[in-house]
A and B are shown apart, each in its own frame.
Chain A
Amino acid sequence: MRTSVFCVDATQLLKGVLDLAVLAVLKDEDGYGYDILRRLREAGLTEVGDASVYGTLRRLFAAGLLTTYVVPSESGPHRKYYSLNASGRDQLTRSGKTWRSFATTMDALLDDRGMAA
């Protein structure tokens, strides 16, 4: 029954929370694709894939959580910036709460059984 057992790895977990992570790094500052990717990596999500971030941005935009604008640049190509709109902020608040409660529950569960963090 190996197939039904999931080994917890960062890539699998990331899939579930990438939306939340992207919304979070856009909370205080707008950013373009590569910039957002770098912020995620700097925050410690080193496993995140380039295409996953671009795809997620596209999907969040299509869902109406992000707005975009293009900034011309003299040095390089024009950049498309993403920013959180009101719905995006709402979503961030709600998802953030869900994640915190879930994470707290998991932490408590592991703590009770004496597992070190």
Chain B
Amino acid sequence: MTVTGQEITDYVDRVRAALADLPPTVRDELTEDLPEHLAEVAAEADGALVDRLGTPEAYAAELRAAAGAEPGRRPTRFHRLAEARQETATQLRLLDRQLGPVFGHETVSDFLRPLRPAWWLVRGWLAALLVAAMTDGRSGLVPRMDGNTSGGLLLLIGAIVVSLWWGRRSAGITGWPRRLHHLGTAALLLFSVAVLADVDRNASSDFYGGYEQVSVDHRYDRIEDVFVYDQQGRLIRDARLFDQNGVPIQLGWPSCTDGSGAVPEMRNTYPYCPELAPFAPTASAPVAPTTTP
């Protein structure tokens, strides 16, 4: 029986399959001479290749052992990635140990471990904020459901309870739930950066700028103008209003035109439009008293 080309191809394929765990370049190098060699062996004498060389798997094992190619390596692409990951992990472990004394512990991990429940609380709060932001769109530092603060508080408590529960449970998970867990944590951290940026922007804008220059209260949004009468029922013009801190009180807005047809400019003196007084002014002479705090 003579050896056919097909038999050689099959043999080569099976040897290559048995070396599939090697990096492709190494495998190619190890098997590049094989078809020619098998052709020589076939030409030498009759008989099946398997009878003379053993099984392709045994041949592959012998080749591997003689070449000193260790098994179990991943393909190069992933191999390089895994190597980088390994390197990073080593560096982190080193840093962990080096920086430990700064925190008064052997390693930074030792210092951080007791703080984990605090992170679980923060995580619950972040999760509640995220849910609120997704359903509502508006979000401060307290979650709101459709502008409803008590609903938001319920959500907050629920999220924190779940987070604490998960914190106690998540230590032992492996495989894809663990990956999902890491993904979720990364998403929350990303979201927390967005929250921080938002709060920071609000804090630095004039609207929340600490000491307020004008006392404004939106409960009086419906008030257009303020009319102050003295004891005799006379309308006081150009009255100034102040709160207990000496801050001018601003209410309403000019809603009329003066003689020249222009809207009076916004001042902190009332009324803007004396002619619209609800009670007819009895005093013909304008009085100009000023209220003081």
Please list the residues of chain A having a beta carbon within 8 angstroms of any beta carbon in chain B: 18, 32-34, 49-56, 58-59, 62, 76-80
Contact = CB atoms under 8 A, between A and B. Distances in A.
Contact of A58 (B29, B35, B39, B60): B29
A58 B66 CA distance: 9
Contact of B68 (A33, A49, A59, A79): A59
Contacts of A78: 36
Nearest to B35: A77
Given A50-B53, A54-B30, A58-B30, A33 B63 contact: no
A52 B36 contact: no
Main secondary structure of the interface of B (DSSP, over half): helix
Contacts of A34: 36-37, 40-41
A79 B36 contact: yes
B63 A54 contact: yes
Nearest to B15: A51
Nearest to A49: B62
Interface string B59-70: 110111111100
6 contacts: A32-B36, A51-B66, A53-B66, A55-B67, A55-B68, A79-B36
Contact of B60 (A18, A51, A52, A80): A51
Contacts of A18: 66
Interface residues of B, number: 21
A32 B33 CA distance: 9
Interface of B: 29-30, 32-37, 39-41, 53, 59-60, 62-68
Contacts of B40: 34
Contacts of A59: 66-68
Given A49-B62, A50-B53, A58 B67 contact: yes
- The A contact surface, by secondary structure, is helix
Nearest to A50: B53
Given A50-B41, A50-B59, A55 B64 contact: yes
B27 to A, nearest CB: 11
Contacts of B30: 54-55, 58
A51 B62 contact: yes
A82 to B, nearest CB: 10
Q: Which 7 A-B pairs have the closest CB atoms?
A: A55-B66, A51-B62, A55-B67, A51-B63, A34-B40, A77-B36, A52-B66
Nearest to B40: A34
Nearest to B33: A33
B62 A52 contact: yes
